[in-house]
């Protein structure tokens, strides 16, 4: 009398009618291969099984890479849409004060940052009533401040886009919000010949929102549009 369990006739007929059900099920195929190896005994090496395991591992790696590429593509597309929406919003105002106030309002909201600050270098101080009306959005600094801030005082060229994690924000830029900032994106602005540089700073409470490992292409594009818009207001 055989000790092997007999297969249910209905199940047997279903497998014969739809063999793809087994072939497409990785767990079931592994179980069948393992059963075949046990039937062959321990003295036989199944090279075909070993090759299948390696191919399966390679396929898993390819699938992981594929998912990572797709996720990165979606993330990049979402970031592109964000920047485009922020630029369109930035181009809406017809008055300079509204333009600046929107930076820390709708533009910051679209970009999902906690604060946006504009720093302009000037030989004058920030006691001008027009500057005070803008609140924390605009800061006026002495010439040389921006390069020193971007390079941490080192004698190296300042990058157009600097992404970094910080312990807390600088009071001279973020004001009362400085204590909450844990990462920032600093965009160096060129307003043209014979004009001092500017800097647009985006601050975030999330320490991982901005880091040196991230790409800067979109923010460089945003900085280019912003500085051209500012040239129009400054002319």
pLDDT per residue of the chain (235 residues) written in tens, 0 to 9: 455 556 677 777 777 777 777 767 777 777 777 766 666 665 555 656 666 677 777 777 887 777 777 766 667 777 889 899 999 999 998 888 888 889 989 999 999 999 999 999 987 655 554 445 556 788 888 999 999 999 988 989 999 999 999 999 999 899 888 999 999 999 999 988 888 999 999 999 999 999 998 889 999 999 999 999 988 887 7
The pLDDT score that the predictor gives to residue 86 is: 93
The pLDDT score that the predictor gives to residue 42 is: 56
Domain count, the chain: 1
The pLDDT score that the predictor gives to residue 1 is: 45
Distance CA 225, CA 217 (A): 13
CA triple 201-207-212, angle to 5 deg:
65
Are 219 and 200 within 8 A, CB to CB? no
- Segments forming the whole domain that contains residue 162: 94-234
Provide the CATH number for the domain around residue 157.
3.30.450.40
The pLDDT score that the predictor gives to residue 126 is: 52
In a domain, 202, yes or no: yes
The pLDDT score that the predictor gives to residue 85 is: 93
In a domain, 77, yes or no: no
The pLDDT score that the predictor gives to residue 153 is: 86
In a domain, 122, yes or no: yes
In a domain, 32, yes or no: no
3-state secondary structure at position 183: strand
In a domain, 26, yes or no: no
In a domain, 51, yes or no: no
DSSP string for residues in 31-71: HHHHHHHHHH-TT---HHHHHHHHHHHHHHHHHHHHHHHHH
């Amino acid at each position: 009398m055989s000790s092997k369990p007999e297969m249910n006739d209905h199940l047997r007929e279903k497998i014969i009618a739809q063999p793809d059900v087994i072939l497409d099920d990785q767990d079931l195929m592994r179980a069948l291969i393992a059963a075949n190896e046990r039937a062959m005994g321990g003295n036989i090496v199944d090279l075909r099984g070993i090759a299948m395991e390696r191919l399966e591992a390679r396929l898993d790696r390819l699938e992981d890479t594929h998912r990572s590429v797709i996720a990165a593509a979606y993330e990049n597309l979402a970031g592109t849409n964000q920047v485009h929406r922020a630029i369109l919003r930035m181009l809406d105002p017809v008055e300079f004060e509204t333009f600046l106030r929107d930076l820390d309002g709708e533009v910051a909201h679209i970009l999902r940052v906690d604060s946006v600050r504009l720093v302009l270098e000037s030989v004058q101080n920030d006691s001008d009533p027009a500057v005070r009306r803008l609140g924390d959005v605009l800061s006026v600094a002495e010439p040389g401040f921006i390069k020193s801030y971007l390079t941490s005082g080192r004698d190296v060229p300042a990058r157009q886009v600097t992404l970094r994690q910080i312990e807390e924000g600088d009071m001279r830029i973020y004001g009362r919000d400085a204590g909450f900032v844990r990462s920032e994106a600093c965009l160096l602005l060129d307003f043209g010949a014979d004009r001092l540089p500017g800097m647009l700073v985006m601050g975030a409470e999330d320490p991982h929102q901005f880091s040196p490992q991230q790409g800067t292409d979109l923010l460089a594009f945003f900085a280019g549009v912003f500085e051209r818009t500012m040239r129009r207001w400054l002319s």
